[in-house]
Amino acid sequence: KTLEYLAAGLPVISTRVPDVVADHGSVVELEDNGGSFAAACRRARRRSPSSREGGVRSVLLRHHWDTIAEQMVDLIDRAASGVPAAAGSREVTA
């Protein structure tokens, strides 16, 4: 649900769940106890949505379906050809 909350422009505060830390630690506020979690909630209420946009945008772009599809096409091409695919972008059409 983390990506959905970020895409909706909501602040996300979490305990240190391993996948949240690894995938979203740069844009999710991580707290380890009840007091700091509550304080983070209060801070999030005062913060404007625009203050979170920059970092969130890059995380969402990394997880966007077009980005994932491009990576999959590159992996499939590499597996099919036996030749390492060059890094770079490739246009994917529906």
Q: Please list the pLDDT of the chain residue by residue as tens digits (94 residues).
A: 888 888 888 899 999 999 889 888 888 999 999 999 999 999 988 887 766 666 777 777 777 888 889 889 988 988 888 766 555 555 555 4
If you ran DSSP here, which 8-state letter would residue 56 be given?
H
Q: Position 74: which residue type?
A: D
Domain boundaries, the chain: 2-80
Please report the pLDDT score of residue 60 as a whole number: 77
Q: Rounded CA gap, 56 and 59, in Å?
A: 5
In 3D space, the residue among 62, 43, 70 whose CA is nearest the CA of residue 2 turns out to be 62
Please report the pLDDT score of residue 54 as a whole number: 65
Identify the three-state secondary structure at position 16. coil
Q: Rounded CA gap, 32 and 15, in Å?
A: 6
Q: Look-up: residue for tokens 């983070």?
A: 40
Residue-by-residue DSSP string for 32-45: -SHHHHHHHHHHHH
Reported pTM = 0.58
